[in-house]
Structure 1
Amino acid sequence: MSEPLFMEAERVTFHPIEEDDLEFFRDLINHPEVREGLAATEPRNMADEREWFESLGEDGVQFCLRVGGERVGTVSFRGVSEQWGVAELAHFFHPDHWGNGYATEAVRRMTTYGFEERRLDKVWAQVFAFNEASVRVLEKAGFDHEATLPDQAFARGERVDIERYGALASEW
């Protein structure tokens, strides 16, 4: 099935998530390298994915990302506040597609979409301090480091810091 195109960047296309994407997302969220970056501690099955799918759009927007027609990952806004004009950006990709610049491209395009089409004033993201690749993605995409939150989360069997990044529409 060909998914409808919502928007595109140079190489990455953004598609509404459809039911036939759920197997990809189940496999992605269960991948050991992806789970580590998300601190996902419980396995996800198709029933979990269907429940997640049914909840899409309740507080944000999420896309299935493709390159050359192949699913590669996802990017989303969560906690979208029309009143405050802010949203949290999250992204993750299949490890087979790490290091190709797709994440940076997707984060830039999603942020531009947030500012230009959703009228957001600020987009923010948070990552584990140990996730150097995601830190680089945010920095290369134009986000500024705003804070280090010490011992904010539990991952890799220990307390870890969270790095908070943000981008302002007025500076984009």
Structure 2
Amino acid sequence: MTPVRLVSPRLALREVDPGDTDALLAVYGNPDVTRHLSFEPRTVEQVQAIIDRSIASAAETPRTEYCLAITHPGDQRLIGYARLATEPQQAATIGFALHPAGWGRGLGVETVHLLCTLGFDVLGLHRIWAARSPLNEASARTLLRAGMTEDGRIRDHVFVRGAWRDSITYSILEHEWTPPDGSAAYLAGT
């Protein structure tokens, strides 16, 4: 598959590159960002490993993981990180994190829409799902506003900060997906 580049009115998704390490550290190294994620703040070495793994996954055939930089259109600086990992049965799980400077502006909803465009319109998937911490109410609002439906709870789903934590899951099916007006465009090979 050609490199992924998706553009919406306020955001773009592009392949991760080696120059993204410091910007991703500002996201994944931030305790406020990782408070509800399935891991604690990352070190520079851990972030570099994520960058390296993201770049390597883009070259795999078949490609099963899309680890993408979230940017603003026309600006290559990473402001967040998005991931879509395919599963059997034409399904995928998604996740993302934004730098706190982007919180509260609807960018999470737009990120989910971009990931759904990739999953449904480009990859031809049937189902996309996401999971959140039970305490992350902002994520609940984002996933619902993006058109996903709450499915339920996975008990003791992740072990983080020395304890097991549940996850609340959401999904959207291909026939439920309606791209919003001014929706994303997939730009192959750009």
TM-score, normalization by structure 1: 0.85
The runs of at least 4 aligned residues of structure 1 exceeding 4 Å deviation read 155-158
1:21 to partner: Cα distance: 0.9
AA partner of residue 14 (structure 1): L
User: Tell me, what secondary structure is at the counterpart of 2:123?
Assistant: coil
1:87 to 89, 92, 114: 92
Instruction: Note the C-alpha offset of 1:6.
Output: 1.1
Q: Is the 8 Å Cα contact of residues 19 and 53 (structure 1) preserved in structure 2?
A: no
Q: What are the Cα deviations for residues 84-125 of structure 1, in whole angstroms up to 9, with x where unaligned? A: 100101111011110011110110121022111100000000
CA distance in 1, matches of 2:128, 2:54: 23
Using CA pairs below 8 Å that are at least 6 residues apart, which structure has the higher relative contact order?
2
- Which stretch shifts more, 8-17 or 46-55? 46-55
Q: Percent identity?
A: 23
Unpaired runs of at least 5, structure 2: 178-190
- Cα drift, residue 48 of structure 1: 2.7
How far, CA to CA, are the matches of 1:87 and 1:21 in structure 2? 25
Q: Quick check: 2:14–2:69 contact (8 Å CA) kept in 1? A: yes
CA change 1:42–1:11 in 2 (3 A) is closer
What is the number of equivalent residue pairs in this alignment?
167
Q: Describe the superposition over 1:37-86 as per-residue Cα deviations: whole angstroms up to 9, x where unpaired.
A: 213236322443454344433531121111252432122202x13x4100
Secondary structure in 1 aligned to 2:36? helix
Structure 1 residue 161, shift from structure 2 partner: 2.3
Q: Bigger CA drift: 68-77 or 151-160?
A: 151-160
For 2:83, the equivalent position in structure 1 comes to 76
Q: CA RMSD in A?
A: 2.2
TM-score of the superposed pair, with normalisation by structure 2? 0.78
- Find the aligned partners of 1:71 and 1:15 in 2 and give their Cα distance: 9
- Structure 1, unmatched stretches of 5+, are none
